[in-house]
Structure 1
């Protein structure tokens, strides 16, 4: 019979099974995956946007831990995207995926948002039918 693997991160004498790579128990493997994910994310934003160690976290804290536009998304499930100006390549802030996609579709054109504001304030359907006010 083979001896069961024990977690290399647990206290000596622990009998927690270690079925995960390392070998690690489920708790320590979850911690290791999070550490690796964070390290990979830092490396990616450094290489892509030039953000140094901790700059993403500093920007995240400066925005109150929320998307700079919608102020709802926190990045808890999916990290906020680094938004940058495509002309100057300068980082502007952190956005959730939908807000970042909205800016991409607008092609960073402020007039797009002026038209969207006008559309929301006075929808075209309002101008053509009396039925609009009935609803």
Structure 2
């Protein structure tokens, strides 16, 4: 008895050559009932659903907001860092949720650099003001040394 040259995929209903079906030793014809294309498509959908659920769970656990809330924040900020204004397309790590470590309140979405900068300053407005004053003094010193050169 010869093996059939083609079979109908139980998912898409198309007649396809046997070579387009993955092997299954336990089936009568030695092939799965669903073609390889439909099998891969279903796996991709399952993967995306799992990934979306994990993303949502991460935001809910860490910040008490959903992935949809984050997407709304992204749109409200026009997909830009709330501090420096760089667009998320130009950020290798994208935008990150910035939150107050004392109250847990979500403030905005920041790029990695701005978010880390706030963290390094321990979210202290006093320290940030001191840094601004320090930078302003540096500009004044630079201006003085430039005039001395001339």
What's the TM-score bracket when you normalise by the shorter of the two chains?
0.5 to 0.7
2:130 equivalent to 1:115: yes
What's the CA shift for 1:40?
2.4
User: Which structure shows the bigger proportion of residues in strand conformation?
Assistant: 2
User: Which structure shows the bigger proportion of residues in helix conformation?
Assistant: 2
Mark the CA change 1:124 to 1:52 in structure 2 (over 3 Å): closer, same or farther. closer
Aligned mates of 1:68, 1:116 — CA distance in 2: 19
SS of residue paired to 1:92: strand
| Rg comparison, structure with higher value | 2
* Structure 1 portions without partners, runs of 5+: 9-21
* Structure 2 portions without partners, runs of 5+: 1-17, 22-35
Hey, what does 1:15 align to over in structure 2?
none
SS of residue paired to 2:108: strand
Aligned mates of 1:55, 1:45 — CA distance in 2: 9
SS of residue paired to 1:112: helix
Aligned mates of 1:44, 1:104 — CA distance in 2: 20
What's the CA shift for 1:120?
2.2
Q: TM-score, normalised by structure 1?
A: 0.67
Hey, what does 1:43 align to over in structure 2?
57
Aligned mates of 1:23, 1:34 — CA distance in 2: 12
Aligned length: 117
Hey, what does 2:98 align to over in structure 1?
83
Alignment of 1:1-135 (within 5 A): 3-5=19-21, 6-8=36-38, 22-24=39-41, 29=44, 36-74=50-88, 77-123=92-138, 126=141, 130=145, 134=149
